[in-house]
Chain A
Amino acid sequence: MDNNMDNNSNNIIVLMVCPVSNYLEQEIEKSFKVFKLWHFEDKEQFINTHKDSIQAVVGSAAAGADAELIESLPKLEIVATCSVGLDKIDLARCKEKGIRVANTPDVLTDDVADLAIGLILAVLRRICESDRYVRSGEWKKGEFKMTTKFTGKSVGILGMGRIGTVIAKRAEAFDCIIGYNSRTEKPNLNYKYYPNLIDLASNCQILVVACSLTEETQHIVNRQVINALGPKGVLINIGRGLLVDEHELVSALLQGRLGGAGLDVFEHEPDVPEELIGLENVVLLPHVASATVETRKAMADLVVGNLQAHFGKKPLLTPVV
C-alpha cells in the first residue's frame, strides 16, 4: 500500500454511496475522511451540506454515481467503483467534466468464471435440488431422478471479454463445444463466432451471459433469444440482471419454453421474482460472483490504490476514464 501521500491527505473527503465491506471502509479511513451515505436519513440534505468538500465517490455494483449525484458535487475528482461493471456510473458525464473513473477488472475474473461453471453444474446436475431432496428426507422414500451430463455439451458465451474468455477456457476442460457472440469477432480464437445472438442461442445448450450492461445491451436476452435456447436449454447470468428480460425469463421457465436457469443477478436486487423461488430447475444466488475473501480484499485494495494514486498525482492503477 502506497503511504507516500501528502500529510494533509486525511482532509480529502471520500463519499461511500453504499456499504461494501468493513475492510474497505477501514482501509479508506487510513488515508482519507469517509462519509457513508447510508448513515444519513435525509440524503439530499447531507449532500447539500457537504457538496463542496466531497472529492471522491466510492461505489459498487449496487450503486455508483449518476448524473444527479455528479452534478451535485462540484469538487468531485474521481469515482472509484468496487466492481468491474460500470453501469451505475454516468461515464459520459464524467468524461465531460474531467472526472476520473476507476474500476476493479482482472482481480475478479477467475472467481466470476468459477461461479459461472459452478452454476452450470448446479443446474444441469441438480446439485441444490438434490441437496434439498436429501435434507427433507425424501431420499429415504425413493431415488432421485436422472440429471443431465455437462461434459461435451455446447456452450454459447454472450460477451467474449476478459470474463467470457476465461469461462470458455474452463468449459474446454469439460470438452465443451464453444460458440460466442460479441460486438465484433475476436481474432485468434478457436471458437465459432455467431454474429447473431439468436443463432448462437439456437446452436447451444447452455448460454452464459457475460457481457457488460450498456444502453445497447439492456434486455439483449429477450423472448426470441430465450425461445431459441429452448425447452432443453439453460441460461446462466453472471453479468447484470438488466441484460435479460426478467419478465420473459420467468414466463418461459413457468411455461417450460426454457429448461433451466442459473442466476447470480437480477433486475431489482435484492428483490427476486416470487415465481422463481418456487422453481426446482433454477439456481438463485445473491450476487456472489466475486464474493470470496481473497477477491474482495483484492478489489478493495485496488479501490484504495486508485484513490491514493489519484490524490498522490500518480497514474491510476485501473482507469476507465
Chain B
Amino acid sequence: MEIHEEHRDHQSQHLPRVLVIKPPPPLTLFGDKFISRSFQLLKAYESSLSLEQFLISHAHSIEAILCSGDSPVTLDILRLLPKLRLVVTASAGVNHIHMPECRRRGIAVANAGSIFSDDAADAAVGLLIDVWRKISSADRFLRQGLWSKIGDYPLGSKLGGKRVGIVGLGNIGLQVAKRLQAFGCNVLYNSRSKKPVPYAFYSNVCELAANSDALIICCALTDQTRRMINREVMLALGKEGIIVNVGRGAVIDENEMVRCLVRGEIAGAGLDVFENEPYVPKELLELDNVVLQPHRAVFTSECFVDLCELAVGNLEALFSNQPLLSPVTAE
C-alpha cells in the first residue's frame, strides 16, 4: 500500500460506523452524497455473513443506523448494538422502528422531517385537479384519435367553491390546505386533535365526508387509521364525491372502494397508494374516472437530493455533538 492510502485506511478505521442493513432509495440513487469525513457506512447487505453474525462482529463500532420504511429496526437488532446512539430513517413514518426500545435506551431517532411535504402536497393537488378536470382521461381520449372522430370530451367539474376535506392535518395536510385555498376551495379537516388553523374541524371522519365534495387522505397508517375510510365514510361522501390518497393504501378499505367506484356510489378517485403494491385491483384499470399512480408522490429528484443532505446532516450532527436536524420527539 502507498503511504497515503495506509494513512487514509488508518484514519477511516477510527471513523464511527453507520450500519445500513438494506440501502434506502436515496442511498441507492445518490450514493456519493453519503461520503463523509464524520462517519463511514457499514453495508451489511454487501456481506456474505448472516445479519446476526454481521451485527455481532461489528457491534463495538456501530453508533448509528441509516434505514428506510422497508428496512425494519427491530428489538432483536437493537439488542445486538450496545453502542447505538441514533437511528436515521429516510422516511417520515417510524412504524418500522421499535420506538419503545429506542426511548428506553435513549437512542435518538431522526426522520425525513417535512422534506416530503411539498412534493406530496403537489401530488395530491395534481391528482385532485386531474380527477375533477379529467386530465388523464381526456389526454387518453385525444391520443386515441377520438377528438376528431367523436367531438368534445365530457365536461369536468370546477374546483372553486368545492369543499375539500383533508384527512390528517400534519405537515403534508397543511401544505395541501395552503395550495387549495388559492383555488378557491373550502378546506375542512379531520385530525387526531384540533389545530390552530382557519379551517373547519370535524372530529369524526364520517361527518367530514358528509360535508365534503372530496376527501384527501394525508395521514399516516396506524392502528387507528387502518381501514378508516370504509363504506360508511364513502356513502357519506356520496355519488358526486371523490377520494385522493397520498397516505397509505391500507387507510382505505380498498375492496369497498372498488365496489363503490364500480357502482357509482362515489364519483372518482386519484390514488398514489394501494393495499398490496404494485398490485392494483383490476377493476380500477378499466375505469375512466380514476387516476392511478405508482407510489411516487415524493419521488422527485429534488426531494431525494434534499433527503440525502438531511440524512447526512443528522449523522454529522450526531458525530460533532450538535443538535439533530430532524429529531422525532416523543408524542
Contacts and interface: CB of A to CB of B under 8 A. Distances in A.
Question: Do chains A and B interact in one complex?
Answer: yes
B212 to A, nearest CB: 17
Contacts of A285: 135, 138-139, 142
Contacts of A174: 118, 122, 179
Interface string A296-319: 100000000000000000000000
A205 B150 CA distance: 35
Given A285-B135, A296-B155, A118 B301 contact: no
Interface stretch (A69-77, A122-130, A222-230): A122-130
A127 B291 contact: yes
Nearest to B287: A135
Given A131-B293, A147-B299, A285-B138, A292 B157 contact: yes
Given A118-B130, A121-B122, A293-B158, A146 B300 contact: yes
A118 B138 CA distance: 13
Nearest to B293: A130
Interface stretch (A148-156, A157-165, A182-190, A195-203): A148-156
Contacts of A287: 152
A56 B14 CA distance: 88
A72 to B, nearest CB: 27
A292 B143 contact: no
Given A127-B135, A146-B301, A294-B157, A114 B183 contact: yes
A172 B135 contact: no
Interface stretch (A29-37, A81-89, A137-145, A206-214): A137-145
A133 B125 CA distance: 20
B197 to A, nearest CB: 15
B133 A135 contact: no
Contacts of B129: 114-115, 117-118, 121
B134 interface: yes
Interface stretch (B59-67, B220-228, B278-286, B323-331): B278-286
Interface in B90-146: 118-119, 121-123, 125-127, 129-130, 133-136, 138-143
B294 interface: yes
A140 B143 CA distance: 24
Contacts of B138: 285-286, 288
B148 interface: yes
A130 B179 contact: no
Interface of B, secondary structure class, is helix
B158 A110 contact: yes
Interface in A264-294: 269-272, 277, 283-288, 291-294
B135 A130 contact: no
Nearest to A292: B158
A223 to B, nearest CB: 25
B304 interface: yes
The residue among B129, B279, B291 with the most chain A CB atoms within 10 A of its own CB is B129
Chain A contact residues (Cβ within 8 angstroms of B): what range? 35 or more
Nearest to A119: B135
A170 interface: yes
A151 B147 contact: no
Contacts of A92: none
B182 interface: yes
Contacts of A55: none
Contacts of B158: 110-111, 114, 292-295
Contact of B294 (A118, A122, A130, A172): A130
B152 A286 contact: yes
Contacts of A131: 136, 291-293
A114 B161 CA distance: 13
Given A131-B136, A149-B303, A293-B155, A169 B182 contact: yes
Interface in B139-191: 139-143, 147-148, 151-153, 155-160, 178-179, 181-184
A134 interface: yes
A53 B71 CA distance: 79
B122 A170 contact: no
B126 A125 contact: yes
A286 B182 contact: no
A1 interface: no
Contact of B301 (A143, A149, A269): A149
Contacts of A139: 277-278, 280, 294
26 contacts: A110-B159, A114-B183, A117-B183, A118-B126, A121-B123, A122-B126, A122-B136, A130-B296, A131-B136, A144-B294, A144-B296, A146-B299, A149-B122, A149-B300, A173-B178, A173-B182, A269-B147, A271-B148, A277-B142, A284-B142, A288-B156, A292-B156, A292-B158, A294-B157, A294-B158, A296-B155
Given A134-B293, A285-B135, 11 more contacts: A110-B183, A125-B122, A128-B140, A143-B294, A149-B118, A173-B179, A277-B142, A284-B139, A284-B142, A288-B133, A288-B134
Interface of A: 19, 110-111, 114-115, 117-119, 121-122, 125, 127-128, 130-131, 133-135, 139-140, 143-144, 146-152, 169-170, 172-175, 269-272, 277, 283-288, 291-296
Interface of B: 29, 118-119, 121-123, 125-127, 129-130, 133-136, 138-143, 147-148, 151-153, 155-160, 178-179, 181-184, 277-280, 285, 291-294, 296, 299-304
Chain A to chain B: the 7 pairs with minimum beta-carbon distance, closest first: A121-B126, A173-B182, A118-B129, A151-B118, A149-B302, A149-B300, A270-B147
